Chain A
Amino acid sequence: MSTDTGSGPGIRAGSGTQADQEKNRRARRVLFGCAAVTVLTTLAIFFVLIDNAASYFFGARFTELLLGASPERTVTFTEFFTGTRWAPDHATPAHGALPVIFGTLAITFGAAFVSIPIGTATALYLSEYAAPSVRSKLKPTLEVLAGIPTIVYGYFAIAFINPVLIGPIAAALFGINIGRYSMLSGMLVVGIMTIPMVSSISEDAMQAVPDELRNGAYALGATKYDVSLSVVVPAAISGILASYILAVSRAIGETMAVSLAAGFNAQLTSNPFDEIMTMTAYMVSMARGTSAVGTVEYQSLFAVGLLLFLMTLVMNLLNDWFKRRFQEEYQ
Chain B
Amino acid sequence: MSTPGKSDTELFTDIDLGWKHLQNRLFLGVIFAASMFGVVMLALLLLDVATDFYVGLTEFNISLTDFLTRDGSRRAEGAGFRGALVASLMLMVLTAFLSLFIGVGSAIYLEEYAPDTRLTRLIEANLANLAGVPSIVYGLLALAAFVNGIGMGPILLAGSIALALLVMPIIIVSSQEALRAVPDSVRRGSYATGATKWQTIRRVVLPAAFPGIMTGTILALARAIGETAPLLMVGALFVNRMPYGPLDRFSGMPTQIYGWASEPSQHFIHLAAVGIVVLLSIMLCMNGVAIYLRKKYETEV
Closest beta carbon of chain B to A179's beta carbon, Å: 11
A256 and B228 contact, Cβ closer than 8 Å, known pairs A24-B196, A156-B48, A159-B261: yes
Count residues of B near A (Cβ-Cβ below 8 Å): 101
Q: Which residues of A contact B76 (CB under 8 A)?
A: none
Q: Tell me if B168 counts as interface (CB < 8 A to partner A).
A: yes
The CA of A283 and the CA of B141, in the complex, are separated in Å by 13
A48 and B113 contact, Cβ closer than 8 Å, known pairs A138-B35, A149-B227, A154-B258: no
Q: Which residues of A contact B235 (CB under 8 A)?
A: 287
- Asked if B27 contacts A287 (CB within 8 A), the reply is no
Q: Which residues of A contact B101 (CB under 8 A)?
A: 34
Count residues of A near B (Cβ-Cβ below 8 Å): 99
Q: Which residues of B contact A296 (CB under 8 A)?
A: none
Interface string of A34-53 (1 = CB under 8 A from B): 11111101101100110110
Instruction: Please classify the interface of chain A as helix (H, G, I), strand (E, B), loop, or mixed, using the class held by over half of its residues.
Output: helix
Q: Which residues of A contact B169 (CB under 8 A)?
A: 38
The CA of A138 and the CA of B34, in the complex, are separated in Å by 12
- Asked if A151 contacts B258 (CB within 8 A), the reply is yes
- Asked if B23 contacts A316 (CB within 8 A), the reply is no
The CA of A195 and the CA of B108, in the complex, are separated in Å by 33
Residue of B nearest to A195 (CB): B38
Q: Which residues of A contact B228 (CB under 8 A)?
A: 149-151, 255-256
- Asked if B196 contacts A125 (CB within 8 A), the reply is no
Q: Tell me if B28 counts as interface (CB < 8 A to partner A).
A: yes
Residue of A nearest to B99 (CB): A37
Residue of A nearest to B185 (CB): A8
Instruction: Please classify the interface of chain B as helix (H, G, I), strand (E, B), loop, or mixed, using the class held by over half of its residues.
Output: helix
- Asked if B38 contacts A152 (CB within 8 A), the reply is no
- Asked if A309 contacts B233 (CB within 8 A), the reply is no
The CA of A329 and the CA of B208, in the complex, are separated in Å by 33
Q: Which residues of B contact A7 (CB under 8 A)?
A: 184, 187-188
Query: Which B238-290 residues have C-beta < 8 A from chain A?
Result: 254, 257-258, 261-262, 264, 269, 272-273, 276, 279-280, 283, 287
- Asked if B113 contacts A28 (CB within 8 A), the reply is yes
- Asked if A249 contacts B132 (CB within 8 A), the reply is yes
Interface string of A12-36 (1 = CB under 8 A from B): 1111100011011001101111111
- Asked if A142 contacts B39 (CB within 8 A), the reply is yes
The CA of A6 and the CA of B134, in the complex, are separated in Å by 38
Closest beta carbon of chain B to A217's beta carbon, Å: 13
**What is A's interface to B at a CB cutoff of 8 Å?**
1-4, 6-8, 11-16, 20-21, 23-24, 27-28, 30-39, 41-42, 44-45, 48-49, 51-52, 117-118, 121-122, 124-126, 129-130, 138, 141-142, 144-145, 147-156, 158-160, 180, 192, 195-196, 199, 223-225, 228, 246, 249, 252-256, 260, 280, 283-284, 287-288, 293, 301-302, 305, 308-309, 312-313, 315-317, 319-320
13 A-B pairs within 8 Å (CB atoms) are namely A1-B120, A4-B115, A13-B197, A31-B106, A38-B172, A42-B130, A45-B141, A149-B283, A152-B279, A160-B48, A180-B264, A288-B232, A312-B134
| Contacts beyond the supplied A48-B144, A199-B38, A256-B258: 8 A-B pairs with Cβ under 8 Å | A7-B188, A14-B193, A31-B113, A34-B102, A160-B48, A252-B134, A301-B140, A312-B134
